[in-house]
Structure 1
Amino acid sequence: MIALLFPGQGSQYIGMGKSLADQFSVARRTFEEADEVLKFKLSSLCFEDGLSNLSRTAYTQPALLTASVAAYRVYMDEIGLRPDYAAGHSLGEFTALTCSGAISFADTLQIVRHRGILMQEADPNGLGVMTAIGQADQKRAEHLCVQISTKEKPVVIGCYNAPEQFVLSGHQEAVNKVAERLGSEMATVNPLRVSSSFHSPMMQPAAEPFNKILSSYSFRQGDYPVISNVTALPHESDHLIERLTRQLTEPVRWQESIDYLRLQNVKIAIELGPKQVLQNLMKKMTSSIITVSQGEASDIPKAKGVFNRENTEPSFIGKCLAIAVATKNRNWDIEAYRKGVIEPYQKVKQLAMHLDQTKQDPTREQMAGALLMLQSVFETKGTPHWEQQKRLKQLLRMPVVKEFTLSEQGDFTWPSF
């Protein structure tokens, strides 16, 4: 079992994702798409701008989303192993939903941009802060929060990250009082570089307008389960908007989310995005899930190396599904997309799940169906010929290479089954 993890605010740094964009066209196009959707040079903000702008939540959120989606697309191109689950920390939950296909990247860019602006406006005087606490008892911290918190100056645990690692969030006076008390009891105290008190009552003014924004977008069932920060369980489509809204003011239950993945027998996790925050947290929680981070080009060999290729190499059909997911969409006709992408993809996905459960190898006709699905996806998404060739040639590494033909020019041609 494989899980993909996506980081949240606090992981940003100048230059994040640049090596991926320099070396992989799919990553470069991801940043270009963000520039186009947002109408400003997000790529410059990530690659070369000052940290002061990148630390403002209205910019941080779309920047981290883009860097992580770029890392995901490179992962799908270079490794291509379909995850069984995905989870994201705070903002990372939106990234996980995007990569699962529950919502488009373009729509999520707009959503998290609005989210960041609303979160800034919820604390216009900048009185909200967040402070990471380590080597402390959570129950003791919860008790102190209840003692010190007031309606005007609240303090709560905003993130339950690991057994003895959590984040205080709220009004700076109240947060500082709890942090000082815990620090005097030998806890470690680390103020975070964020622009407000996320996952606390101070975000309540943002909740209702954000709910309205979410309601204006279309969500669908993703290709794999995404864990909710609010419940630490897989999202249910009927409650998706409500839980994403609650996430503003309720804590991130990260420790419980990892417990859930562990109970589902997840053995490998790949953190996709800047830094190694989630990889480091994993080490504090369990040794049963091997975790590596892939945020820059230099991380890819280690990410590949964590897999036992004999046991986890995707099947021919699995690779076809991965190519379909990683291919950029250039067609915004909803009905055509449903018929040409979603329906054939779901049909092949169900076949792949059945073959996996029954431990069967695909027949020649079933492989033909997977290729016909890819052909439909390429045609519907408007994939140019050169990109089709690049993606299809990934399949030539598969054991069924004899099923493929190349033209004299070296181009892939659809085989006749």
Structure 2
Amino acid sequence: MIMFGGQGSHYAGMGRDLFDEFPEHLALADEVLGYSVRDLCLDDEDGRMTSTRYAQPALYVVNVLTYLRVRRSCRIEPTALLGHSLGEYCAAHVAGVFDFATGLALVARRGELMADAGDGAMAAVIGLDLDAVHDALVSWSGDGLWVAGYNTPNQTVLSGVTDQVRMAKDHFLDAGARTYVSLNVSGAFHSPLMAAARSEFQRVLAGTELRAPRIPVVSNNTGAIHTSDLIAHNLGEQISAPVRWTESVQLLAGRGETSWIEIGPKRMLTPMVEEILASP
């Protein structure tokens, strides 16, 4: 089983050891995007990578190239695929849902729409189980705060209006959270504040040819295996819906998956998988 990381796993300088190895992919990426991916990743003096508009396509390229290198060296054939948020598009590409260029164009448009959706913030609540997180949300006096990701049984991501995410810190710590960590993102992703982006992106997906996955891919939106008739719908809904990572990992574990290979610039998913698999 191969899993692809999403935003948060990217960093300045990523891909340095990959770009010379895959010149044709890099040239195609530059053509699709209209700018140099190499320059974006390695010489980002303007700080463009802090924006989801640029971070998403850059991460898609680096993830796919990393997969190609791993497959070339290890001759792996994945039995299932999983991606966290943006990583789901890398998984869909590997499964044959779309080619490299089409996937990159989709991701670039996704990044543009999510960037244009406006400001917002996200935070991870760690050390509090899901029931306690929901209770704390119910008792929270403000508006504009939602669950954006079920990462592990004891790590839940929140998303919403910037001041609400910031002010909720003490509330969740008082409820018993061990830590409350602000995430380095530029918007309220996977929340209702992305509704306009979701609607427009659904139209983009409706005009894109998507093929049936030839390898099982788990949907972030449902925590179930993608079906060819709903893959466009679920990829679109994913923008404003929580990432059901815990359910996705539990589904694949229940299907007998025992080997979990993480693809991405940073090792972020493996510790979450280990925690999920160790939970009762």
Q: Shared topology, TM-score over 0.5? A: yes
Retained in 2: the 8 A contact 1:149–1:174? no
Say if 2:82 and 2:88, in contact at 8 Å, map to a contact too. Answer: yes
CA distance in 1, matches of 2:27, 2:266: 22
Q: Residue 21 of structure 1 corresponds to which residue in structure 2?
A: 19
Say if 1:121 and 1:149 are closer, same or farther in 2 by CA, change over 3 A.
farther
Q: In the alignment, does 2:106 pair up with 1:111?
A: yes
The reply to whether residue 163 of structure 1 matches residue 153 of structure 2 is yes
Larger Rg: 1
2:133 corresponds to 1:141? yes
Q: Which amino acid aligns with 2:86?
A: L
1:207 paired residue among 198, 220, 225: 198
Structure 1 partner of 2:181: 190
Alpha carbons 2:19, 2:38 under 8 Å: kept: no
Counterpart residue identity of residue 206, structure 2: S
Equivalences, count:
278
CA shift digits 1:81-127 (9 cap, x unpaired)? 2111000000111110011111111011111111111111111xx2x
Which of 225, 233, 251 is the equivalent residue of 1:260? 251
Q: 2:72 aligns with which of 77, 102, 113?
A: 77
* Structure 1: 5+ residue stretches without partners: 289-417
| One-letter amino acid of the structure 2 residue matched with residue 130 of structure 1 | M
Match of 2:236 among 230, 235, 245: 245
Structure 1 segments of 4+ aligned residues over 3 angstroms from their partners? 146-150
SS state of the match for residue 268, structure 1? coil
Note the C-alpha offset of 1:35: 1.1
- Checking the alignment, whether the CA contact within 8 Å between 1:230 and 1:246 is kept in structure 2 is yes
Give how far 1:158 is off: 0.3
> Aligned to 2:217, which of 223, 226, 232?
226
Flag the structure with higher helix content: 1
Q: Which residue of 2 aligns with 1:380?
A: none
Given candidates 277, 282, 292, the residue that maps to 2:273 is: 282
- The C-alpha deviation readout for 1:144-179, integer Å capped at 9, x for no partner, is 2234376xx411110100110111101122223332
Determine the structure 1 residue equivalent to 2:33: 38
Amino acid at match of 1:209: E
Q: Show the counterpart of 1:336.
A: none
| CA–CA separation in structure 1 for the residues paired with 2:195 and 2:259 | 36
- Structure 1 residues 92-107: aligned runs within 5 Å: 92-107=87-102
Identity %: 35
C-alpha RMSD of matched pairs (Å): 1.7
Instruction: Say yes or no: does 1:54 pair with 2:49.
Output: yes
171-180 vs 268-277, which deviates more?
171-180
Looking at structure 1, the residues matched to 270 and 26 of structure 2 have their Cα atoms a distance apart, in angstroms, of: 24
Query: 1 CA distance for matches of 2:26 and 2:277?
Result: 34
The one-letter code of the counterpart of 2:10 is: Q
User: Counterparts of 1:284 and 1:51 in 2: how far apart (Å)?
Assistant: 37
Alpha-carbon distance change, 174 to 161 in structure 1, aligned in 2, over 3 angstroms: same
8 Å CA contact 1:17, 1:67 repeated in 2: yes
Q: Report the counterpart of residue 208 of structure 2 in structure 1.
A: 217
Task: Pick 1 or 2: higher relative contact order, CA cutoff 8 A, min separation 6.
Answer: 2
Aligned equivalents of 2:122 and 2:260: distance in 1?
Answer: 27
